[in-house]
Amino acid sequence: MNICILTHGKGKFIQGTTASTRSLYRAAKARGHNVRVINAALCYIEVNSETPKVLYEGEDLSREFDVIIPRIMPSLTNYSNAILRQFEMLGVYTTTKSIAIARSRDKFRSIQLLAKQGIDIPRTIFSRETDKIDDLIEQIGVPVIIKLAKGTQGKGVVLAETRKAAKSVIQAFYVLDTSILLQEYIEESGGSDIRAFVVGSKVVASMERRSVTDDFRSNIHQGGEGVAIQLTDEERKIAIRAAKAMGLQVCGVDMLRSSRGPLVIEVNANPGLEGIERVTGKDVAMRIVEYVENNAKQRNRKDRVGA
């Protein structure tokens, strides 16, 4: 198959991309596929009613690929999603739909979808600017986690341990003219969380991420460390349900172990491969490519029958 890894980087070549993209590239090449890494920021679209095109520095990519594997960074979500959506409209198979990426990047929309499906989450309040800050804090209590509605890799996340600290953080975030989330602090999680990597309807790898300092954030990008673990049956089922609720076939589901059971805190549409592959010793990239092979071929067979 002809596979495009739609990503970002400092240039047009694989050397300028992330470790996760390089891992996917290696796996796809090892399975005998033709693979190109395309920088979404260098693409543009010609839209018309007859022959719409996706162009890459003057080259027409509209009919080149059988599969798109998106690796879209948060800062380029809107533009990269427009490129991905055009490929979808041209009938190209994508491992992650543009609409699912958009949902997952909106933290409160994600929480709404998870809650609607009966998936347990920490108690959460969504707010923009209000003079009822004391009431916000009263609803959740302290300590409280305060997050920017748009953030990633643990950035824009603060633990406020007192009412005074919480009030100061909220007021500071309001100055940024942005929406925020207030979320209950799960003390028994002890500064750790679980990352379950879902491909299709299976958890293919899982690890516990632990903070190695007094920072409550366990993200590996924030200096946390990972340890391979076995999920409980309940945790595995919840991870798969959370992925399904978000419409994501490839994702990382982040959970906390609490006294009332597993709580989903985030579903990541662009989970890193490097950390979980190193910690678990599992070739997650290869599992993604195998999933692509099975599902893209199945989709293509249906298309031929329908024709």
114 and 237 fall within a common domain = yes
Average pLDDT estimate for 164-188: 90
Are both 114 and 238 inside the same structural domain?
A: yes
Residues 152-169 have a mean pLDDT of: 84
Give yes or no: residues 89 and 60 share one domain. yes
133 shares its domain with 195: no
CATH number at residue 129: 3.30.1490.20
Same domain as 63, residue 169: no
> What pLDDT is attached to residue 301?
42
In a domain, 287, yes or no: no
The residue among 98, 85, 71 whose CA lies nearest residue 5 is 71
pLDDT of 300 strictly over 90: no
**Residues above pLDDT 70, as percent of the chain:** 88
CA-based R_g, the chain, Å:
20
Bond before 143 cis per omega within 30 degrees: yes
- Give the CATH number, domain containing residue 218: 3.30.470.20
Q: Judge whether 250 and 104 are in contact, CB under 8 Å.
A: no
**pLDDT score, position 266:** 93
Average pLDDT taken over every residue of the chain: 88
**Residue 260: pLDDT band with limits 50, 70, 90:** very high
Look at residue 208 in the predicted model and tell me its pLDDT: 95
Residue 17, pLDDT above cutoff 50: yes
Total domains in the fold of the chain: 3
| Residue 132 is assigned to a structural domain of this protein | yes
pLDDT average, residue stretch 178-184? 90
Question: Any idea which of 6-15, 115-124, 237-246 has the lowest mean pLDDT?
Answer: 6-15
Percent helix, percent strand, percent coil in the chain, to nearest 5: 40, 25, 35
Per-residue pLDDT of 59-118, as tens digits, reads 999 999 999 999 988 888 999 999 999 999 999 999 999 999 999 998 889 999 999 999
Pairwise CA distance, residues 251 & 240, whole Å: 10
CA distance 98 to 13: 24
Model pLDDT for residues 272-283, shown as the tens digit of each residue: 999 999 999 999
Same domain as 261, residue 199: yes
Q: What is the per-residue pLDDT across 187-240, written as a single tens digit (0 to 9) for each?
A: 888 888 999 999 999 999 999 998 765 555 545 445 568 899 999 999 999 999
pLDDT attached to residue 76: 86
Residue with tokens 């989709």, as numbered in its chain: 299
Rounded to two decimals, the pTM is 0.87
Helices vs. strands in the chain: H and E counts, helices first: 9, 16
Residue owning tokens 């260098």: 42
Q: What's the pLDDT score for residue 149? A: 77
Token pair belonging to 218: 């366990």
Which residue spans within the chain are E strands per DSSP? 2-7, 34-39, 43-46, 53-56, 59-60, 67-70, 93-94, 124-127, 144-148, 157-160, 180-184, 192-199, 202-210, 225-228, 250-258, 261-268
Domain coverage including residue 261:
104-108+110-118+188-272
